[in-house]
Amino acid sequence: MKLNRVLRSAHLARFPRDRLGACPEVLATNRPLPRLPRRSGHPWLRCQATPQQPGRPDRQTFRHVATRIMVLAMAALLGACATTSHTPAASPLSPEEIADHVRQRETWASNYVTWSFSGRAAISKEGVGGGSGRIEWQQHDHARYTIALSAPVTRQSWRLIGDLHSESGRIEGLQGGPREGEFAEDLLLETTGWHVPLQQLGSWVRGMPAAAYPVESIEYDAQGRLSRLRQAGWTVDYTAWRSGAPGQPDLPQQIEAASEGARVRLVIEDWMFATP
């Protein structure tokens, strides 16, 4: 019997005592212990877990709390980095600064009477339809200009030669030969169905109101550039600008002009100004 107890004590020493605390009958019996298998599914090992003491969090709870703390710390760190790297927006210009920008643009434009731009145009009018294609505008002096429009889809192209002083025009490339008219805008509307403000567009594309027409309303952005202009019955929105070369103001890149169902959209890709 004494030998059996010694062997029993050596056998139980293989297991932590706190894991056997839930099975006091194991310690109380004097029967010889059978050889235990290594797998945890044996009936003897089903009562090894000691009941959780009330008020004492287990290891899983500690792990869950630690994970939440790490997530909150990372979120706070990322928020601090985003706040630190944020660049404050430039403060809007005062009315005096805007007026100074306008004068500088007008002075610069007066030195370049010969200029041109190229890009894309989309022109439409309710009840008539519209079209789109490549556009090239060449301003030869204060009055004379040439507009060339080509539509790759329809393979049609025409050229309008106009005069801002007399407002007359001539269209080439139409079926039936060239046509001339006393007013270039009316001639363009009659032959193509497109309503385009030719008398004002040359100033609008350079970011200025047309000098000979009253301004109904005008708005500027934070950099002193036109954002919306109402003039001669048209509403002109400047949706994109491009940075100017050294000594040159920023120039419009995208313009939308609308008036009573007519709409003109321009995307200007290239500018050229002759040396004064």
Which pLDDT score is estimated for 182?
A: 96
Confidence of residue 39 (pLDDT cuts 50, 70, 90): very low
Mean pLDDT for 130-158 is 90
**Within 10 Å of residue 215's Cβ, how many Cβ atoms?**
11
Same domain, 121 and 41: no
Which pLDDT score is estimated for 116?
A: 97
Mean pLDDT score of the chain, rounded to an integer?
79
Same domain, 241 and 137: yes
Residue 55 lies in a domain: no
**Within 10 Å of residue 232's Cβ, how many Cβ atoms?**
19
Q: What is each CA distance from 166 to 145, 163, 182, 189, 233, in whole angstroms?
A: 12, 6, 8, 18, 21
Does residue 128 or residue 261 have the better pLDDT? 261
Residue 138 makes CB contacts below 8 A (sequence gap 6+) with: 116, 145, 146, 147, 148
Residue 65 lies in a domain: no
Domain containing 19 equals: 2-45
Residue 79 scores a pLDDT above 70: no
Residue 156 lies in a domain: yes
Tell me the percentage of the chain whose pLDDT exceeds 90. Answer: 51
Structurally, how many domains does the chain consist of? Answer: 2
Mean pLDDT for 208-218 is 95
Does residue 56 or residue 258 have the better pLDDT? 258
The residue with tokens 């877990």 is 49
Sheet holding 169-172, edge to edge: 179-181, 169-172, 156-163, 144-151, 129-139, 115-125, 262-273, 251-259, 234-242, 226-231, 215-220
99-119 per-position pLDDT tens digit: 998 999 999 999 999 999 999
Mean pLDDT for 132-153 is 92
Please give, one letter per residue, the 3-state secondary structure of 210-232: CCCCCEEEEEECCCCCEEEEEEC
Residue 132 lies in a domain: yes
Which pLDDT score is estimated for 156?
A: 82
Confidence of residue 155 (pLDDT cuts 50, 70, 90): confident
Tell me the percentage of the chain whose pLDDT exceeds 70. Answer: 66
Residue 14 lies in a domain: yes
Alpha helices in 171-219 (DSSP H): 184-192, 198-204
pTM score > 0.85 for this model? no
Residue 46 scores a pLDDT above 60: no
Same domain, 230 and 126: yes
Residue 263 scores a pLDDT above 60: yes
CA–CA separation, 51 and 221 (whole Å)? 72
Residue 179 lies in a domain: yes
Same domain, 21 and 130: no
Tell me the HSE value of 139 on the side-chain side, using a 13 A CA sphere. Answer: 24
Confidence of residue 15 (pLDDT cuts 50, 70, 90): very low
Inter-residue contact 220 to 227 (CB < 8 Å)? yes
Residue 206 lies in a domain: yes
217-253 per-position pLDDT tens digit: 999 998 899 999 999 999 999 999 999 888 889 999 9
Same domain, 136 and 29: no
CATH number for the domain including 152?
Answer: 2.50.20.10
Residue 76 lies in a domain: no
Mean pLDDT for 76-91 is 53
Lowest mean pLDDT of 133-137, 217-221, 230-234, 272-276, name the range.
Answer: 272-276
Which pLDDT score is estimated for 194?
A: 87
CA–CA separation, 213 and 41 (whole Å)? 96
Mean pLDDT for 165-188 is 95
Same domain, 146 and 255: yes
